[in-house]
Amino acid sequence: MTAFDLNEHPHRRFNPLTREWVLVSPHRTQRPWQGQMEKTSLESVPAYDPSCYMCPGNRRATGAQNPAYTGTFVFDNDYPALLPETPTGTVEQGGLLRAEPERGLCRVVCFSPRHDLTMSTMPIGELRRVVDLWTEQYCQLSALAFIHHVQIFENRGAMMGASNPHPHCQIWATASLPNEPGKETAAQADYSHAHGSCLLCDYLALERELGKRIITANDHFVALVPFWAVWPFEALVTGGRHTTGLDELSGDERDGLADILKRLTARYDRCFEVPFPYSMGFHQRPANRLEHKGWHLHAHFYPPLLRSATVRKFMVGFEMLGTPQRDITPEMAAARLRELPEAT
Ligand SMILES: [Zn+2]
Ligand SMILES: [Zn+2]
Ligand SMILES: [Zn+2]
């Protein structure tokens, strides 16, 4: 009987942040692909697009006109998924049909007046100003009495449903704690009670010791493929110092965050020589004015591409009905990303 080997044998890995499992099937990586191929868009993107609702000076569908901004620009989403005012009340029938009103705010943050730039191609100083704006928005929205969570996220690329290439992200601030941060809040609190330490501080120490899954790092931040990654080239970005939110970062650390985001996204773009699509977002302590000592600021990157610019991973079948599954191991993905150049 051969010994259990993570590089060879089917196994499942535990995600301590969500307390869910992922199935890993490393023996399948040589299997031929006969599935769907995505089209790659090679159209060049102009620096200014007169039909873009985010470019400076342009008019949006609601008639509002963007200022001739030169740095970052934030505005309330013209078609928000959430509204600040809703009627009160609940729906409850037999304990099975339950609904509650949800209040919130949705904003759009343009990273740059340039329609053609991305996190990977923006100058580092400009990316730092985006980090400053995220921090400002987190503080401003967290201070609203009815807000309990602030979700900053970016969908990049048509494959992720982003129809407009203008570099931007969204911020949804909600009255209730969404599912994913809800699971992570409970798991981090339980871990910190049980161990007297922080889950992600301890995890990062372990990953630094092993070095196998680290993609890139600077003095303040590390980008790695987590041991429990579901998406082929999934990454976790987190700081070496324990901070619970963007508002606790020092000026140097904000520079460090801008730097790591640029390094990681530049490697992504080189992975298949194509602008790498992904959904990314920050997880930070809930905005409920309670102390969340065990909460550790981090960002998740979830890119869908699997083996080329045209072959993506689908979450179907067993993954929808059972458990998410991957073939290429997180260690293989980290090694592949680590080998790529990141200089622009
Ligand atoms: Zn634009
Ligand atoms: Zn920590
Ligand atoms: Zn998280």
The pLDDT assigned to 42 comes to 60
Ligand nearest to the CA of 182: 3
The pLDDT assigned to 159 comes to 86
Between the CA of 204 and the centroid of ligand 2 the distance, in Å, is 9
* Residue pLDDT tens, the chain, 344 long: 789 999 999 999 999 999 999 999 998 876 665 667 776 666 689 999 999 999 999 999 899 999 999 999 999 999 999 999 999 999 999 999 999 999 999 999 999 999 999 999 999 999 999 999 999 999 999 999 999 999 999 999 988 888 799 999 999 999 999 999 999 999 999 999 999 999 999 999 999 999 999 999 999 999 999 999 999 999 999 999 999 999 999 999 999 999 999 999 999 999 998 999 999 999 999 997 888 989 999 999 999 999 888 889 999 999 999 999 999 999 999 999 999 877 65
Between the CA of 294 and the centroid of ligand 2 the distance, in Å, is 7
| Residues acting as catalytic residues | 168
3-state secondary structure of 217: strand
Between the CA of 298 and the centroid of ligand 3 the distance, in Å, is 6
Q: Which two tokens stand for residue 219?
A: 């003095």
The pLDDT assigned to 12 comes to 98
The pLDDT assigned to 161 comes to 83
Residue with tokens 């303040």: 220
**C-alpha span between 165 and 46 (Å, rounded):** 10
Between the CA of 167 and the centroid of ligand 1 the distance, in Å, is 8
The pLDDT assigned to 117 comes to 96
**C-alpha span between 196 and 32 (Å, rounded):** 47
Which residues neighbour 189 within 8 Å (Cβ) at sequence distance 6 or greater?
A: 292, 294
- pTM more than 0.85: yes
The pLDDT assigned to 160 comes to 86
Q: Calculate the CA 48 to chain-centre distance.
A: 27
The pLDDT assigned to 35 comes to 67
Residue 253, sorted as left (phi over 0), alpha (psi -120 to 50) or beta, turns out to be alpha
Between the CA of 200 and the centroid of ligand 2 the distance, in Å, is 5
The pLDDT assigned to 41 comes to 63
Ligand nearest to the CA of 55: 1
The pLDDT assigned to 115 comes to 97
Ligand nearest to the CA of 180: 3
DSSP category for residue 107: E
